[in-house]
Structures are given as C-alpha cells and as structure tokens.
Amino acid sequence: MSILSAEDRNRLIVAATEAKEFSYSPYSRFRVGAALLSTDGKIIKGANIENASYGGAICAERTAIVKAASEGIRSFVGLAVTSDVASSIAPCGICRQVLREFCALDMPVLLVPADYPQPGAEGDGGILDTTLEGLLPHSFGPEHLELPRQS
Amino acid sequence: MSILSAEDRNRLIVAATEAKEFSYSPYSRFRVGAALLSTDGKIIKGANIENASYGGAICAERTAIVKAASEGIRSFVGLAVTSDVASSIAPCGICRQVLREFCALDMPVLLVPADYPQPGAEGDGGILDTTLEGLLPHSFGPEHLELPRQS
Amino acid sequence: MSILSAEDRNRLIVAATEAKEFSYSPYSRFRVGAALLSTDGKIIKGANIENASYGGAICAERTAIVKAASEGIRSFVGLAVTSDVASSIAPCGICRQVLREFCALDMPVLLVPADYPQPGAEGDGGILDTTLEGLLPHSFGPEHLELPRQS
Amino acid sequence: MSILSAEDRNRLIVAATEAKEFSYSPYSRFRVGAALLSTDGKIIKGANIENASYGGAICAERTAIVKAASEGIRSFVGLAVTSDVASSIAPCGICRQVLREFCALDMPVLLVPADYPQPGAEGDGGILDTTLEGLLPHSFGPEHLELPRQS
Ligand SMILES: [Zn+2]
Ligand SMILES: [Zn+2]
Ligand SMILES: [Zn+2]
Ligand SMILES: [Zn+2]
C-alpha cells in the first residue's frame, strides 16, 4: 500500500467532511462526502447528487472523479469518504468500478466515521484504512477489453 | 422559452468547446463537451468520462451538473453541448433525466455542431436551439414521487 | 404512429399491471410495471428493481427490455407502463434511452393510470397515448456513433 | 462458503455459456453470459445488453438479477459468469453492487474462462472460484441506509 503523510490524511478527512455539506440527497437522506488527492497535490471534493429516477443518482466518489477527470486531473494518491453515520461507510460497487479506471489498486482509501475521531477507537480514531484493491478484488478494468476473443 | 443574451450564448458555446478537450473517451472515441450557465452567471464545464465497464460512463452533461450541484450551484439558465461531429448531437436520455432534477423545463439548450459556425446554415450557424422540455416531454420528476399511491 | 389493435392494447395494459406486482421498491415505495409486445406477438414484463445504492436501480421498462433482448427478442410493436398513482407516469430518461436502442421511434407507448379505466376520462380511460419519439425527441442513437469526427 | 454440487456447478457453467449467445455488444465486442441458480432450483440467464449511450449498458449479471427479481425469484445459491476470453473475467463493480441486494455474501461465484475446461489448469479447468464477498468486501447494503444519522 502507498503511504499518505499525516498531513495528507488530514487534508483528505477535512475535505470529505466539508464536501458532505453539498450533498443533494432528498430521497435517501443519506449524505456522503468524498475527497480525492491528486498526484500533484490538489484536493477534489464530491458529494452525492440524487435523482427522482433513483437510477440517475451519482455518488460522492463518482462526482469527485468526473470533476477531476473533466479538468484533466487523472492521477490520484488517496481518497477519503465520510457520511452522517457512526460507521465507516464504504463506496458502493458502482463507484469502486469508476475509481478503478483512474486509480492504482494500492491507492489508500480512508473510510471515515461521522464522529471522527472516535474516542477509544482502534487505529486512527475509527477510520477504516483500506485500498482500492481492498474494495474491488479481481477487478475488471481497461486491460481486459484488450484481451483476444476466442470466438 | 427563456432568452439568453448573445453574450451568454457565446460564453456557453465557447465553454462547451473548451470542455470537450478534457473528454476521456477511449472506448467510443466520441468526445463531448458541455457547459452550464448558472443563474448567478457562473460557467460550469463538463466532459464525458467513460469506463471499461461501459455502464459506468458519465456523460459531459451529467459531469457538469454534478460538478455544479456538489459546489452548491443548483439553478441554471442555459446549457450548450458540442461534440466532434458536424451535426447537432443531443444529450442522451440519462442526462436529460439528471438535468430535469435541477433545470426548468423552459431552460434553453444549444446543440452546437463541431464546425460551428457552419457557413450558410439556417439560424445561428447550425445550432439546434431547443429546451429541456423539447428534449424530455412528459418528464418524470421529483413531484411525481410525492403523488398518493392507490395501493 | 403505428397502430395497436384493441386486443393488443388490452394485453399490454393487463400485463403491465400484473408486472407491477413483482416490483422491488423498498426505497421509493413507487411500484412500476411495464410490458413490451414483440413483433412476433410475445409479451415481456418488467418491474422496477431498486438497490441500496440508489444509482444501481433498474426501472421496469429497462428490466423488460434486457429480459427480452437477452432472450433474442429485439423487435417490438408496443409498450405499456403503469404505477400506483392516478396519473399517467412516463418512463424516466434512462429508460427512454435504453428503449431507443431497439424500438422504432413511432412505436406506441401507453401510459396507464393506476385506476384505469378512469370513469369520464378523455380518450381511453385516462391513458396517455404517445410514442417513443413523443418521449425522446432529437434522440441520440447508434447511428450517431458512426458519424465522421472532425478532429 | 456455501457448497454447490457438481451437478449444480455444471448447470451454471452450461447456462452461462448458452446465455452469452444472446449478448448485444456491438460497441465493446465483448460478449458476456451469466447464470444464476435460485434457491428453488431454477436457472436464470442473462447477457450484456449495450447502448449507444454507453452509460445505458446493462451487464449480463444485472440482466439475470432483474429478470429473476421481476418474476419474484429473489433467493439464489450460485452465479456463473463467462465471456469470450481465455481468462476468468470478474463482474464489474456495478453488478457486484446489484447482486449484493439479493445474494448472501458467501454465495459461490464461478468465473469461467471461454475455453473451459482448460487442459492442465489448476482447480476446476481454469475456473476462478470466489464468492460475492470475495468480490465486494466491506460492502454497502440495505442495512446501512437504516443506520441513525449523526446530524
Ligand atoms: Zn457509489
Ligand atoms: Zn448522456
Ligand atoms: Zn426508468
Ligand atoms: Zn457489470
């Protein structure tokens, strides 16, 4: 796993928490904030933006990724995700797949509880530290589309 | 239909064309750029960001909308969309639905050909001028979810 | 517009109503049923299947289309959609787009109120009769991906 | 992990391979077939159904799930997935998320190479044997939406 500095960890946690304020989630009432740290040190924030047609919802993580990618930022060193619940909520599978397109499998992912830092929690105040591969093993990616077909 | 000033039309056309440069479309090789104009005069750009799992693709129009909404910008007065083809390409249905959540039905939508302004074209150099309702009649929106159920 | 016989209209309305019973919609509590009539006379039913990650929801119309297409049925002459509300609820934009791949623009679409037939309603008991093009004007389809790029 | 009988494994492998024949994948030219085995012994097949708007694509696994769920079948004991490539291709994240709604985390998932059985391959002819949890650790599911919000 790549290592984030304490400062970068903190920047990501703060940014994800700020990002959550702009969640548009009238249907789920489940606010999520996400923040990406790019290789060149920029923070890109995202929040979940829901839709009356539920399938049109775009989560916080995907909002952050397309925001970055559409501004030419496509190399990342870390992701933090937070919500309003006192657990480490993980990205949905859709977001894991979209992250896979641009992020290395060993990119650190911080799943941050709403009440971070939790007193007495193990590790860093209740954060679940994982990686993209920790969330999406045996992933499907661009290289698979290049494989020769047998028929 | 609301009316855009010539200056605002021009800002949208230029911004959509610039946005297209950041398209990530290795699978379709179909670059799209979009630009929204917010009620308070801001331009928000988006490009299509594709994914190896084709279903994970997010179009230019949705990228622009979630970028804006996740920064607290949720009121818009116009949209322009352009691509690399010499026709006025319209948003897909998915994007029409996501726009519906935040945009008025009479919001102007400019569908801009790649070679705008087209010499000798009718109207404004080949632009197809429409509205959100012109693209999504009988639309499904947040108010329908509130209707009383019969069973 | 193509014309459906009274018998085919009735088959579609009955099937969409039956299909609704299998809706999985614990999040929206908005049940939808859809039915397609294939060119060779088969009825294919669909219901909306939601997901905890709201974006993973698949509507009734798309369920019907992928069910048919994955069984080799790809030519259709009509669609009916119904819900639990006393209005003619129209497909979301996502479904309109997915229908576009397989259905002719003039394919009849029947939007059926929950309490059909509504006494005293205009036309056929409160049904809103439209077509795919009536729901998705200026549509984006397979042929656009074939257009030459200008750059 | 739950255990599938040799007969059930075989039924799933054969069904996924058959399902692939109905793939509609003119854009990716990447055919995928999937098959689910329900608790009451039914096989439900799915194929990937793509769309000119790439984001409208629905994969084989999701096709199978919505087909089953919309017919009232919502309890499953196994899944097999196959494609046209000589590797064990895994479901995309979107499909993992949609499977999560209905399938137990320990449900067996068989990732079957196109040239199964591969001579000399380890295990069962080149199949990668995993589970839903093996594909979607730390998953997000319906129970998380029920958690109390902190603000
Ligand atoms: Zn997500
Ligand atoms: Zn679109
Ligand atoms: Zn829909
Ligand atoms: Zn998939």
pLDDT tens per residue, range C50-83: 999 999 999 999 999 999 999 999 999 999 999 9
User: Does the pLDDT of residue A1 top 70, yes or no?
Assistant: no
Q: Choose the closest CB to A101 out of B51, B74, B94.
A: B51
User: Does the pLDDT of residue D56 top 80, yes or no?
Assistant: yes
Q: Quote the pLDDT of residue B4.
A: 96
Contact A49, B70 (CB under 8 A): yes
pLDDT digits (tens, 9 = 90+) for B65-88: 999 999 999 999 999 999 999 999
Q: Is D61 a catalytic residue?
A: yes
Q: Quote the pLDDT of residue D1.
A: 54
Q: Choose the closest CB to A49 out of B22, B53, B69.
A: B69
pLDDT digits (tens, 9 = 90+) for A116-150: 999 988 889 999 999 999 999 999 999 999 999 99
> Band of the pLDDT at B30, cuts 50, 70, 90?
very high
Mean pLDDT over residues B47-55, rounded? 98
Mean pLDDT over residues C123-129, rounded? 93
* pTM of the full structure: 0.98
pLDDT digits (tens, 9 = 90+) for A13-41: 999 999 999 999 999 999 999 999 999 99
Write down the residue that tokens 């055919």 correspond to. Answer: D31
C53 touches chain B (CB under 8 A): no
> Band of the pLDDT at D11, cuts 50, 70, 90?
very high
Q: Quote the pLDDT of residue C135.
A: 98
Q: How far apart are CA D11 and CA C149, in angstroms?
A: 46
pLDDT digits (tens, 9 = 90+) for C75-98: 999 999 999 999 999 999 999 999
Q: Which of B27, B61, B82, B96 to mutate to test the interface with C (most CBs of C within 10 A)?
A: B96
Mean pLDDT over residues D3-27, rounded? 97
Mean pLDDT over residues D29-41, rounded? 98
Contact C55 A92 (CB under 8 A): yes
Q: Quote the pLDDT of residue C2.
A: 67
Q: Choose the closest CB to B52 out of A24, A46, A145.
A: A145
Q: Among the listed ranges A77-81, B118-122, B145-149, C22-26, which one has the minimum average pLDDT value? A: B118-122
Q: Quote the pLDDT of residue D136.
A: 98
- Measure in Å the smallest separation between the Cα of B118 and chain C Cα atoms: 13
Report which of residues C120 and B56 the model is more confident about: B56
In whole numbers, what is the pLDDT of chain D averaged over residues? Answer: 96
CA A43 to mean position of chain CA atoms? 12
Exposed/middle/buried for residue A146 (C-beta within 10 Å: 0-12, 13-18, 19+):
exposed
Ligand 1 center to A85 CA (angstroms): 16
| Surface of A (106-145) touching B: CB under 8 A | 140-142, 144-145
In this structure, which ligand is nearest to the CA of A93? 1
Ligand 3 center to C25 CA (angstroms): 13
Q: ipTM of this model?
A: 0.97
Ligand 3 center to C91 CA (angstroms): 5
Q: Quote the pLDDT of residue B1.
A: 54
> Band of the pLDDT at D151, cuts 50, 70, 90?
confident
